[in-house]
Chain A
Amino acid sequence: DAGVIQSPRHEVTEMGQEVTLRCKPISGHNSLFWYRQTMMRGLELLIYFNNNVPIDDSGMPEDRFSAKMPNASFSTLKIQPSEPRDSAVYFCASSFDRGMGNSPLHFGNGTRLTVT
């Protein structure tokens, strides 16, 4: 089991540039989550998908953020245009949702984003 795979591990970009973060969930998992973590705000849920369908995107900060899950094995989180306040670690996590709420989340290694 390769675990949740995220790329890139680190991203440094200039304000105004487009940033795309990528995630491959664990094979067989049907739920995928994008989180953002900062020292000030802790772990924040941005959006989650169930069976490739976005279920709750209320955590997405603003229209500059968008996420897609075109198939069960791939998801992207895009920021356009990026701003310095977007600097954070972005985690992707997946789980197998049986509808009973008893399957834990498994996290990827994260992408550390720095916007200058």
Chain B
Amino acid sequence: QKEVEQNSGPLSVPEGAIASLNCTYSDRVSQSFFWYRQYSGKSPELIMSIYSNGDKEDGRFTAQLNKASQYVSLLIRDSQPSDSATYLCAAASNTGNQFYFGTGTSLTVIP
């Protein structure tokens, strides 16, 4: 199993809907997880960090971490066309000085 696995999508949702992005991880990662958004032709941009079991909300974004099931998810409420991008899930290694990235999920929000 890869350290971080992500549904590659693509995922399409209508404007205003909730977009749900999911990621699973192996025992080789620590308990620090990050979601990055990458627009086409741009660099990955950090949008959420989560370290504790449960939910963390920031505006329209909610990150969820379930340590028992080893998954982390990102919910985007009231999706907007400007949310259309590739979303990368990342986790720090157990040693803390390396990062593992998923392959990314392409999201399209349809107006």
Contacts and interface: CB of A to CB of B under 8 A. Distances in A.
B92 interface: yes
A9 B99 CA distance: 24
Nearest to A6: B43
A97 B103 contact: no
B interface: dominant SS: strand
A17 B95 CA distance: 37
A104 interface: yes
Which interface class (under 10, 10 to 19, 20 to 34, 35 or more) fits A?
20 to 34
Interface residues of B, number: 25
A108 B43 contact: yes
Contact of A42 (B51, B92, B97, B101): B101
Contacts of A104: 34, 46, 49, 90
Which of A33, A56, A105, A110 is packed against the most chain B CB atoms within 10 Å? A105
Interface of B: 30-32, 34, 36, 42-46, 49, 51, 88, 90, 92-99, 101, 103-104
Closest 9 CB pairs of A and B: A101-B96, A101-B92, A101-B30, A107-B43, A102-B32, A42-B103, A101-B32, A104-B34, A43-B101
